[in-house]
Chains A and B, each alone.
Chain A
Amino acid sequence: EEQVVESGGGLVKPGGSLRLSCAASGFTFSNAWMNWVRQAPGKGLEWVGRIKSKASGGTIDYAAPVKDRFSISRDDSKNTLFLQMDSLKTEDTALYYCTTDLLGKIAPAWGKGTAVTVSS
């Protein structure tokens, strides 16, 4: 069974940084295209970014609100996905989910999310 578990969330001041991790199991992580999706408190879902597998070029795409501040990376040797978040803003406060491919024939795995609060 595909599983992903996010970690690394917490309280950070505006302008600060945080690094989220997503540990994957139950599937061949190196072949997977992975996403970060966030959900602000009481709000809807917002796609943050995606990283393709190295075999597919390893391309990384970001949503406009986070581009140039957030960075997605992966360590296939450790089956782990990362989200480096810099220059954090109060509007980045959200539950951050890691997911597998949102468009594939296999239903994407979602973790329980890790909460990020940006506040002074």
Chain B
Amino acid sequence: DVVMTQSPLSLPVTLGQPASISCRSSQSLVSSDGNTYLNWFQQRPGHSPRRLIYKVSNRDSGVPDRFSGSGSGTDFTLKISRVEAEDVGVYYCMQGTHWPPFTFGPGTKVDIK
């Protein structure tokens, strides 16, 4: 199975400042169809997860443009350009290239300093 790791696991941030979360996979996520199936999910406290980004860098509908995804191969990054209070929660990366199973990272907890 592909193992997903994230760093940091805890990220205290200052409102209005940028934040960055790293995600690494144990093998390349480039699929035989040429796509890279790396998603980012946000889970706010007490809420169900919500997908923010699919295929590395595509923002889902309704996701603020302060969220961006980048990366390739085995190294990926989720960036928040200016953190807002509503961004508090846990962020997970997930790979969908090598399945089964789909695998999630351990999560990065973002909170306000």
Contact = CB atoms under 8 A, between A and B. Distances in A.
A6 B52 CA distance: 22
Nearest to A37: B49
Contacts of B54: 103-105, 107
B49 A50 contact: no
A56 to B, nearest CB: 14
B34 to A, nearest CB: 14
B66 to A, nearest CB: 17
Q: Which applies to chain B's interface (DSSP): helix, strand, loop or mixed?
A: loop
Interface stretch (A10-18, A57-65, A73-81, A83-91): A57-65
A13 to B, nearest CB: 27
Interface string B46-86: 00111100100010111000000000000000000000000
B29 to A, nearest CB: 12
A79 to B, nearest CB: 19
Contact of B96 (A46, A103, A106): A103
Contact of B48 (A49, A63, A113): A113
